[in-house]
Amino acid sequence: MLRKLLELATGTGTLSTAELAERLRVPPALVGAMLEALARDGWLTDVVRKCAASCQSCPLQTRCLQGARPRIWSLNRLGVPRSRSGIRAAGD
Amino acid sequence: MSRSAQEPERAPSAHPRPARNGLLVGLAGQPNVGKSTIFNLLTGLSQHVGNWPGKTVERKEGVIVWEDTPLRVVDLPGTYSLTASSTEERITRDFILHESPDVVIMISDASALERNLYLLAELLALPAPVVLGLNMMDVAEAEGIHVEPHVLTAALGLPVVPLVATRNEGVRALLAAAVRLAQEPETFQPSRPEITTPHRDVLAQVRTLLGGAVPAPYPPGWIALKLLEGDRELSDMTRAWLPAQAWTEVATLLAAHEDAVLDIAGGRYAWIGRMMRAAVTNPRLGRISATDRLDKIAVHPLWGPLLLFALLGGVFWLTFTVALPMQEWLNVAVVGRLQSGLGDWLDGAPAWLAGLLVDGVLGGAGLVLTFVPVLAVFFVAMAVLEDSGYLARVAYVMDRFMHLLGLHGKSILPLFLGFGCNVPAVLGARVIESQSGRLLTILLAPLVPCSARLAVLAFLTPVFFGPGALPVAWGLVILNLLILAAVGVLLSHTVFRGQQAAFIMELPLYHVPNLRTIGLFVWHNLWAFLHRAGTLIVLVSVAVWALSSFPGGQIEHSYLARVGRALEPIGAPMGMDWRLLAALLSGFAAKENAVASLGVLYGKAGTKLSGALAAHVSPATGLSFLTVTMLFVPCMATVAVMRQETRSWLWTLFGVAMLLAISVAAGIAVYQTATWLGVGRYA
């Protein structure tokens, strides 16, 4: 299922979790859980969370229109999840 | 059950379950599921707190007696999975492997079951019977999520107990189920996730290569599974256990199947999906259906952009029908009267002083202050659209649009901020990892029409175009975005060739906007505007007045006129005289200054600015002026941030020069086309 999710995300540019849920035939919340897991394992980057961290000390935060941001993930370099690089090194 | 299931193979018999007085119970679960509350309810005052051996993580355990059976309950750290990526995960799985609890109680949040069941899937791969406690059943019901514990019991093949820990409901039943299972472990026959193809066979191969080298208490099948998942700790341990040749074969196999984790974890999620379908009904059905229905239009490839442009038009319509009459009233009844009263009061004062205060300060900065209703409408509209969840859809619709044009997908985030102010848009480019993508976004950010430029547009279009203001304003914003897209395509295919980022967006549910949130947003933004109007805009207004009044008091022979006339060769093809050029340049300090300067340069001698402008500026020139204003070099705060973020004067100047060229070219094109179409020549 995760493989299919990544394939869908890779092939069509931008996708919403609702679209992914529809295509995978699972509840949207489950897609959210899968995305969080993929982000933890290094396949995806949680873009907005990264941004939100920098907003805490941002002097412009009161002027920022993105208070209720969509949660956004971007794909890392395909086929090279960060968490696996150590295994390859261990195997070499 | 097939061998492809992620079931625990028995550990070597050299490690039998230790003999102990009573039962050992592990309490597991993700963070924030109410595990500690349940631990406190179970153990009360009999808790002992120490540290896990060799770790700084707290180990809490307590002893209770249940129907003459002593139970030692250990509160395990909150974890999302068991793949040794954190100390907490290592502690949890080491506890199960090394201390062999008689039963593990896993606490889950019933309102977010799909996020919690992954840990259960991992626990089921370890050699310990598990009872599932469904905590926060009240929260789930309140959110419209109906979980059926008995169905889940049947589907999972293990005891499932509903709980509301905050009300001490179900805790005794949970403990009873745990003790029963611990005393009859042979009854534990759960349904486990399976590994999806194509990595079932690879798992079997790894298991075969491990042979009998895996020591107790580790189940070899689980070790094989974790190796395929990329578990670094177990990988190091396995290398030490295996002969060199066998490890090389295992490592080669693992390296060739780095993506196996997708099939293993994917199998677990497919299993979670099945459990959810079986036991959870109507998850947030009402709100999701409403959101889905609205999104059929809001994020549709065709209707989505059309809705966006229609809403943009609606905001302008609201500005023209609600805000501009108020702005006009403020201009006449407040600023006009103040000018007249101050002029009378300064009757005997030096002419320069009266001119400075009446024409410079009130005629410039005072006029800009009347923008407050216009900006208030913009900010209220933006806040309502944002807080309702719609603006997130705008990001989605525009992102897809940008992908179609070959732009960097991530650019939409910072560019989107540009509608409020270009400064955070430039700063927001930090979210883009690649330097070329970041640079491209910084260069494009000033092309997003900020609220100050939109306010200038809203103020001036009715002056130049009367009843035709709405389509002109709307069209200019669209033109702005089209030029942004065109420049983006051009740069991304020439200067910044690079890989596009694939994106997944989780769009929030629609909801009724919160009045307090809207109020705070509008207040913060209006206060920032008033602060700017009281400082920077006053200074620039005074400077423009001084340059247009000296030497001699004749505007036509002023310093400003001399500078402006020197620039007229550039302004002529755009239909602009020196006054308009000066107003345009003054916008470099802050975009609202363009109007303040027009107020100083055209609004003298008690005449109304709108009347004076309509008399002196033709529609073709007005259109050209507005086009250039929308595309011109950004304000100096934005330029300063561009320099800070690019760390390069070269790229900053490139950006400024590019915008200058684009705005002048667009101004010439618009003026010449409008004149050719007979809209009117420069008066």
Closest to B221 measured CA to CA, from B236, B200, B240, B239: B200
Overall average pLDDT of the B588-596 stretch: 76
What local confidence, expressed as pLDDT, does residue B105 receive? Answer: 95
The letter for the amino acid at B626 is L
Q: What is the mean pLDDT of chain B?
A: 81
A49 touches chain B (CB under 8 A): no
Q: Is the pLDDT assigned to residue B85 strictly greater than 80?
A: no
Overall average pLDDT of the B415-423 stretch: 71
Report the range of poorest mean pLDDT among B107-111, B207-211, B279-283, B390-394: B279-283
Q: Is the pLDDT assigned to residue B669 strictly greater than 80?
A: yes
Beta bridge partners of A73: A46, B504
The CATH class for the domain spanning A2-91 reads mainly alpha
Overall average pLDDT of the B293-314 stretch: 86
DSSP 8-state class, residue B167 = G
What local confidence, expressed as pLDDT, does residue B438 receive? Answer: 78
Closest to B625 measured CA to CA, from B418, B462, B464, B458: B464
Q: What angle do CA B319, B591, B332 make, to 5 degrees?
A: 50
Give the DSSP H or E segment for B58.
strand B58-66
- Phi, psi (deg, nearest 5) at residue B681: -95, 170
Domain extent listing, chain A: 2-91
According to the per-residue pLDDT averaged within each range, which of A24-28, B157-161, B537-541 is highest?
B157-161
Between B568 and B541, the more confident residue is B568
| Domains in chain B: ranges and CATH | 23-187 (3.40.50.300), 200-271 (1.10.287.1770), 303-676 (no CATH)
pLDDT bracket for residue B433 (50, 70, 90)? low
The letter for the amino acid at B88 is E
Q: Is the pLDDT assigned to residue B403 strictly greater than 70?
A: no
Are B396 and A48 a contacting pair at CB < 8 A? no
User: What is the Cα–Cα distance from A2 to B657, expressed in whole angstroms?
Assistant: 47
What local confidence, expressed as pLDDT, does residue B417 receive? Answer: 65
pLDDT tens, position by position, for chain A (92 residues)?
Answer: 777 888 787 766 678 888 888 888 887 778 888 888 888 777 887 765 544 445 555 544 544 444 456 677 777 754 444 434 333 333 33
DSSP 8-state class, residue B242 = S
User: What is the Cα–Cα distance from B175 to B71, expressed in whole angstroms?
Assistant: 10
Tell me: cis bond preceding B634? Omega within 30 of 0 counts.
no
Are A90 and B263 a contacting pair at CB < 8 A? no
Closest to B286 measured CA to CA, from B82, B145, B183: B145
CB atoms within 10 A of CB B653: 13
What local confidence, expressed as pLDDT, does residue B320 receive? Answer: 76
> Which of the residues A12, A14, A62, A82 would you substitute to probe the B interface, choosing the one with the greatest number of B C-beta atoms within 10 Å?
A14
Residues of A in contact with B80 (CB under 8 A): 36-37, 40
What local confidence, expressed as pLDDT, does residue B280 receive? Answer: 86
The letter for the amino acid at B53 is P
Size of interface A-B (CB pairs under 8 A): 224
State how far residue A78 is from chain B, nearest Cα, in angstroms.
Answer: 10
Overall average pLDDT of the B591-597 stretch: 78
Overall average pLDDT of the B408-431 stretch: 69
Token pair for B477:
């914003």
User: What is the Cα–Cα distance from B502 to B516, expressed in whole angstroms?
Assistant: 36
Between B106 and B381, the more confident residue is B106
What percent of chain B clears pLDDT 70, i.e. is strictly above it?
87
According to the per-residue pLDDT averaged within each range, which of B43-47, B351-355, B444-448 is highest?
B444-448
Between B130 and B80, the more confident residue is B130
Closest to B23 measured CA to CA, from B58, B74, B83: B74
According to the per-residue pLDDT averaged within each range, which of B2-11, B450-459, B655-664 is highest?
B655-664
Chain B from 107 to 136: CB within 8 A of any A CB: 112, 114-115, 118
pLDDT bracket for residue B182 (50, 70, 90)? very high
Q: Is the pLDDT assigned to residue B14 strictly greater than 50?
A: no
Between B380 and B54, the more confident residue is B380
Report the range of poorest mean pLDDT among B134-148, B279-293, B619-633: B279-293
Closest to B457 measured CA to CA, from B323, B581, B360: B323
What local confidence, expressed as pLDDT, does residue B2 receive? Answer: 44
What local confidence, expressed as pLDDT, does residue B159 receive? Answer: 95
Report the range of poorest mean pLDDT among B37-41, B226-230, B677-681: B677-681
Nearest Cβ partner for B502 among A3, A74, A88: A74
A53 touches chain B (CB under 8 A): no
Between B606 and B588, the more confident residue is B588
Between B513 and B196, the more confident residue is B513
Are B506 and A60 a contacting pair at CB < 8 A? no
- How many Å from the N-terminal Cα to the C-terminal Cα in chain A? 30
Between B239 and B429, the more confident residue is B239
Sheet bearing A44-46, strands edge to edge:
A14-16, B503-506, A71-75, A44-46
Overall average pLDDT of the B216-245 stretch: 88
According to the per-residue pLDDT averaged within each range, which of A69-73, B280-284, B375-379, B493-497 is highest?
B375-379
What percent of chain B clears pLDDT 90, i.e. is strictly above it?
18
What is the per-residue pLDDT across B319-370, written as a single tens digit (0 to 9) for each? 778 877 887 788 778 877 887 788 788 777 777 777 778 777 777 677 777 7
pLDDT bracket for residue B606 (50, 70, 90)? low
Are B524 and A63 a contacting pair at CB < 8 A? yes
What local confidence, expressed as pLDDT, does residue B453 receive? Answer: 86
Q: Is the pLDDT assigned to residue B256 strictly greater than 60?
A: yes
DSSP string, B423-473: HHHHHHGGG--SHHHHHHHHHHGGGS--HHHHHHHHHHHHHHHGGGHHHHH
Dihedral (Cα; B300, B302, B307, B310), 10-degree rounding: 170
Between B596 and B680, the more confident residue is B596
Q: Is the pLDDT assigned to residue B434 strictly greater than 60?
A: yes
Are B430 and A51 a contacting pair at CB < 8 A? yes
What is the per-residue pLDDT across B505-524, written as a single tens digit (0 to 9) for each? 777 778 788 788 788 878 88
What local confidence, expressed as pLDDT, does residue B153 receive? Answer: 94
User: What is the Cα–Cα distance from B659 to B631, expressed in whole angstroms?
Assistant: 7
User: What is the Cα–Cα distance from B338 to B535, expressed in whole angstroms?
Assistant: 19
Overall average pLDDT of the B209-233 stretch: 87
What local confidence, expressed as pLDDT, does residue B73 receive? Answer: 93
User: What is the Cα–Cα distance from B258 to A77, expressed in whole angstroms?
Assistant: 14
What local confidence, expressed as pLDDT, does residue B604 receive? Answer: 60
B276 touches chain A (CB under 8 A): yes
User: What is the Cα–Cα distance from B72 to B60, expressed in whole angstroms?
Assistant: 11
What local confidence, expressed as pLDDT, does residue B432 receive? Answer: 64
Q: Is the pLDDT assigned to residue B500 strictly greater than 60?
A: no
Q: Is the pLDDT assigned to residue B406 strictly greater than 70?
A: no
Sheet bearing B69-75, strands edge to edge:
B47-51, B58-66, B69-75, B23-29, B103-109, B130-135, B160-162
User: What is the Cα–Cα distance from B319 to B373, expressed in whole angstroms?
Assistant: 8
DSSP string, B640-653: HHHHHHHT-HHHHH
User: What is the Cα–Cα distance from A62 to A56, expressed in whole angstroms?
Assistant: 11
User: What is the Cα–Cα distance from B377 to B322, expressed in whole angstroms?
Assistant: 8
Nearest Cβ partner for A14 among B276, B409, B521: B409
Q: What angle do CA B445, B448, B452 make, to 5 degrees?
A: 115
pLDDT bracket for residue B131 (50, 70, 90)? very high
A29 touches chain B (CB under 8 A): yes
What is the Cα A64 distance to its own chain's centre? 23
What local confidence, expressed as pLDDT, does residue A87 receive? Answer: 36
Burial class (CB in 10 A: 0-12, 13-18, 19+), B435: exposed
DSSP string, B499-538: PPPPEEEEPPPP-PPPHHHHHHHHHHHHHHHHHHIIIIIH
State how far residue A61 is from chain B, nearest Cα, in angstroms.
Answer: 8
Are B114 and A71 a contacting pair at CB < 8 A? no
Overall average pLDDT of the B620-625 stretch: 90
Closest to B417 measured CA to CA, from B306, B525, B529: B525
Q: Is the pLDDT assigned to residue B301 strictly greater than 50?
A: yes
Asked if B498 and B404 touch (Cβ cutoff 8 Å), the reply is no
